[in-house]
Structure 1
């Protein structure tokens, strides 16, 4: 599962930005939809209250028959209106607190017109696909008329508020008020705009991330360059405060490493001067002694000391030697080293001559010499194999020693490990 996760900081940040964008968009749409529905509820109650006032004001002085005639003339499929001896809303208990409060408002406001009771309830939509005026829109109508017809159809199919108002003479005025339909927040018309905004945010995020991470990519390149060459130029200390601080720390680290290497170089020079001079005098004095077993033992010990001193000096000066890469005939180099040992041979498959490579000649010769010498010293004989492998030159050195345990393979590559 972890291998499918992003491995770079910019991708993680981009995914977080996209996820945050989606969450914020969904949350915004939900909040807007809820607020719009709440606002529509208030508007619907206001419309019912206003229509009740208009109808009661129109009918309160009329006779029962005149009220029925007026109701018949004002009746339509959307705004049903009747006058009867029984209420359309049979329950005297409102369905919720809002409707109960509206009933009290209606009674208080319309009592001067003889209204003694008011009942309101919500009725579900009938889902009838009737047009507002019973006609089918033609193909030649304008956009405004088409929108009005669509809105009328939505009102006809929406939920209803049904109200029953009781006159002083016992008659009931029953009418319905359609609840304002709440359309979708995200429609096909607004989808391109949302997509455009989201695309712009993503593009700006990618651009910003590239600018923010560019200094870190530069520092990565600089650190890798420092690992290969301590004398490479320092990193430019620019950009944000955090980037400047990181660049300054890397430059300080490079300066300390360079100072440490220079101190080690000076130590190597001192060792070369302080050790080789007395060892040279000791060898001269040994030459003045008569041949004996003691002289041979001292000469052997002195050779060991010289070998150890040379190894220490070579190790101290290896990384600070300013040696440039040159074109080298690697076969000739290996062959010249092998000629200095009697127990070194080439395998039969080695026929590769004229293998040219770019390398530091002194450092490469020192490396191959150490490997061959170790093979001869601790493995009796060394068998060399040299061949080309794609874009590399492969040198294999095999000896006849007991081998190295698997647990000590990594330790062998350390300094001064025998």
Structure 2
């Protein structure tokens, strides 16, 4: 069920707005239909009241036999009219309160003509009444005539009010009055108009919601951009008060994070500067010693200390390097990296992958690819480099011939200073920072690095970068 529900805030808002509009429209149509039905009842009672008054006024002074003849002459299939000794409405009890009140009104109004009793009953349309009037198909009829025929057919199919009114001499006047057929709230003629109005309302709702949520999408992309590149441009603090406050908070967060990273860079630079002097003195003192096993061991330890300091400084300062992003030809960059390593080879397909251009910092991206190649050579003896396109991404693959990495540790090796001791030690290369730096550079360019064990052996590292527009 959850997969059919909206997954974003704008979609939820749009769903709520459209559902509210539909509910309001249905409720409005229902209220209009009820109100139209109530108004129609009042009009029907008025028509029956007026017809009863006219007929009684016309027949009140006629003898019984002339009343029958006049009723026969005035009767028709839709408006039955008869004078009889028995009422057509047998029950003296009205069907509901409204009809009972209508009977009282008739008696009160017609009592001056000698009327002593009135009965009214609502009758459903009979089966014969449901047959529509004949409408000539071949003859040409006008719009008004067509409407009159349709209305007559509607009267024939509608319910009827039957009234029985007693004269002073005991005769009963029985007649029927067709109920005005209620018009449909929705018709085939009005459906296109409703559809157009609904489409306009939905389009305006979509437009308004997109404008309303546009600042939130901008802030979402800004936060993601800060995660990829801490030196990206801050947000414009414009718009409503809430949007300005949120943008100011994001800009403040970005400034504090950048200040923290810069402080880390300064700390690393100060550490490197402070270490340089004692390391230089130690090298000078080692040079004064006679050649011995102790001197060789101390020189090796000193080289390790210098390598550790250099790696830590590189890791701490690469994010704040002052380098602008530009369009980079990946094939040329990969070829320049491969030319620097004797154990690196390019796949045949990589040479054919032309026109793969990405937006990135060229020096940092070259270092990212070089780290992957160095990692493959150090731990897998060789690096086979591939370059291909996958949708809107360029994929740089580096495969080695080593033993691979246990599946559970594929993501852990991206953490700083994490090394697999069984095959990745200080002598075979690195301090566990190469993959960390490479992935950070890839993410700063909007890409990602994925490690996997190749089915034919060795470790496969894939660098995925979005292609430039």
TM-score of the two chains, using structure 2 as the length reference = 0.75
- Cα deviations across residues 17-52 of structure 1 (Å, max 9, x unaligned)? 443333333222222111101111111112222222
Q: CA deviation at 1:221?
A: 4.0
Alpha-carbon separation, structure 1, partners of 2:225 and 2:92: 87
Alpha-carbon separation, structure 1, partners of 2:254 and 2:135: 86
Partner of residue 342, structure 1: none
Q: CA deviation at 1:182?
A: 0.8
**Secondary structure of the structure 2 residue equivalent to 1:95:** coil
Among 368, 371, 383, which residue is 2:370 paired with?
368
Higher mean C-alpha deviation, range 390-399 or range 56-65? 390-399
Unpaired segments ≥5 residues, structure 2:
420-469
Pairing 1:143-222 to 2, within 5 Å after superposition: 143-222=143-222
Higher mean C-alpha deviation, range 184-193 or range 173-182? 184-193
**Cα RMSD between the aligned structures?**
3.4
Contact 2:56-2:113 within 8 A present in 1 as well: yes
Contact 1:29-1:185 within 8 A present in 2 as well: yes
- Cα deviations across residues 358-382 of structure 1 (Å, max 9, x unaligned)? 8644774487358737964xx5x62
Alpha-carbon separation, structure 2, partners of 1:305 and 1:388: 37
- Cα deviations across residues 199-242 of structure 1 (Å, max 9, x unaligned)? 22122223323323333343344344433433332211222333
Q: CA deviation at 1:174?
A: 0.8
Alpha-carbon separation, structure 2, partners of 1:43 and 1:351: 86
Contact 1:330-1:354 within 8 A present in 2 as well: no
Alpha-carbon separation, structure 2, partners of 1:329 and 1:146: 81
Alpha-carbon separation, structure 2, partners of 1:178 and 1:130: 14
Q: Alignment length, in residue pairs?
A: 405
Q: CA deviation at 1:180?
A: 0.9
Partner of residue 417, structure 1: 418
Alpha-carbon separation, structure 2, partners of 1:349 and 1:157: 84
**Secondary structure of the structure 2 residue equivalent to 1:161:** strand
Alpha-carbon separation, structure 1, partners of 2:58 and 2:132: 29
Partner of residue 408, structure 2: 407
Alpha-carbon separation, structure 2, partners of 1:241 and 1:251: 15
Q: CA deviation at 1:96?
A: 1.9
Residues 222, 59 of structure 1: alpha-carbon distance in 2 compared, 3 angstrom cutoff: same
**Secondary structure of the structure 1 residue equivalent to 2:400:** strand
**Secondary structure of the structure 2 residue equivalent to 1:399:** coil
Higher mean C-alpha deviation, range 189-198 or range 178-187? 189-198
Alpha-carbon separation, structure 1, partners of 2:227 and 2:193: 51
1:336 matches 2:335: no
**Secondary structure of the structure 1 residue equivalent to 2:383:** strand
Partner of residue 398, structure 2: 395
TM-score of the two chains, using structure 1 as the length reference = 0.84
- Cα deviations across residues 368-402 of structure 1 (Å, max 9, x unaligned)? 358737964xx5x62222343345443323435xx
Q: CA deviation at 1:15?
A: 4.0
